[in-house]
Structure 1
C-alpha cells in the first residue's frame, strides 16, 4: 500500500513506474488536499485507508 498526498511531490512519475515493477500487487491511494504529512493533515482519511487495507488482509 502506498498513500500519497495530492500536493506532495515525494512520489514522482518515475517512482510510480518502479513501484509498479517491484510491488505489482500494491495499491496506491491519493488523499486530496494534503502534502507529505497527510497522516497529520487528514488523519481520518489516512486511517480509513489503512483500516480498509488491514481489514481486507485479515
Structure 2
C-alpha cells in the first residue's frame, strides 16, 4: 500500500510567508502609532502646563 504525503495544512509556503509579513507590518504600525500618540499626549500636556503657568 502506497503512503500519500499529506501537507500539514492546506496553505502554500508563499501564503504562510505573506501572512507573517502582514502580521509584522501590523505590529510595526501599532508600535509607530503608540509612539506618535505618546508624543502627542506629551506635547499637549506641556502646552497645558505652559498655559496654566503663564495664566497665573
Instruction: Return the TM-score normalized by structure 1.
Output: 0.31
More strand per residue: 1 or 2? 1
Q: Of Structure 1 and Structure 2, which has the larger fraction of its residues in helix?
A: 2
TM-score when normalising by structure 2: 0.32
Larger Cα Rg: Structure 1 or Structure 2?
A: 2
